[in-house]
Amino acid sequence: MLQQIIALIIIAFFLARLFWQNQKKQITAVEFIFWLFFWVASAIAIISLKWVDRVVANFGFTASGINVLLYLSVAVLFFLVFRLRLKLNRIQQDITKIVRHIALKK
């Protein structure tokens, strides 16, 4: 129970920060919706852990709901890191174009 409260406080902190960033126009509308969905979904999953346990058991997993959430979050993190890597590669390609343009201009 205590762990759930701590987790919810942390999520509330990130949600507050998200709204503040949105108000200050530091993030785009798409980013705001994505992270809002992410944190609300996380809060719902934590509040209904017992239900998640039952769903996980119905799927035939022996691990508890919180473990499955943890595995899923690691998978999501891998995906996000991979997307970041692709984005960095695109930025690198743009930098290359600029540097080449400057080199050839002389």
- The minimum distance between CB 86 and another protein, in angstroms, equals 6
Rounded to an integer, what distance in angstroms lies between the CA atom of residue 47 and that of residue 105?
Answer: 61
Measured from the CB atom, is 17 or 100 closer to another protein?
100
What does the alpha-carbon distance between residue 57 and residue 51 come to, in Å, rounded to a whole number?
10
CA distance linking residue 65 with residue 58, whole number of Å: 11
Residue 63 is given by DSSP the state S
Q: Which is nearer to another protein, 72 or 88 (CB)?
A: 88
- Residues with Cβ < 8 Å from 52, sequence gap 6 or more? 45, 65, 66, 68, 69
| Least distance CB 14 / another protein (angstroms) | 30
75 or 95: whose CB is closer to another protein? 95
- Does position 106 interact with another protein (CB under 8 A)? The reply is yes
Residue 6 and residue 43: Cα distance in Å, rounded? 11
Residues 72-101 that bind another protein (CB under 8 A): 85-86, 89-90, 92-93, 95-96, 99-100
Q: Closer to another protein by CB, 62 or 93: give it.
A: 93
Q: Write out the residues near another protein by the rule CB under 8 A.
A: 85-86, 89-90, 92-93, 95-96, 99-100, 102-104, 106
